[in-house]
Copies of this chain bind each other. A is one copy, B any other.
Amino acid sequence: MPVDDLHAIVARRLSGSTLRYTTSRRAIIDVLSRAERPLTLPQILGSDVSLAQSSAYRNLAELIGAGVVHRIVTSDEHAHFELAEDLTEHHHHLICTSCGTVTDFTVSVRLERELDVALAGEAAQRGFTAEHHRLDLLGRCASCLSA
């Protein structure tokens, strides 16, 4: 998606509330869209965005509330942030248990569909209302293996 379109969409979703699309928020969205992987807060702040840590957390919280950013918790360390799936595409994560890096990957539409069916069945059976699923692969990434 072109960056301009992205900003337009984000701006629209923010305007629903009384939220402004400030330079800082725009910078966060830019960094996340440029990154090819979910970033931690330190990474976001290192990357270009100059902002107090607390403001960054606050902005991310607003952006999450507006449905444009998603927060991923993989361990006890920093959470990772990425653009919401409807601004990118449905995907999954490879998580390195050694360095914590998160990388994206996708599976075939067919498998994805089979998963949905199976999960919907399980959910229905327990009166559980599914919002979304999460499929992660845990292991050691190439750079940690060579290290």
Taking Cβ atoms with an 8 Å cutoff, the residues of A that contact B are: 73-76, 79, 94, 96-97, 103, 105, 107-108, 111, 114-115, 118-119, 122-123, 126-142, 145
Contacts and interface: CB of A to CB of B under 8 A. Distances in A.
Interface of A is mostly: mixed
Given A94-B126, A103-B126, A123-B137, 8 more contacts: A94-B123, A107-B119, A127-B142, A128-B139, A130-B137, A130-B138, A134-B135, A135-B136
Contact of A138 (B131, B142, B145): B131
Contacts of A76: 73, 79
B126 A142 contact: yes
A136 B137 contact: no
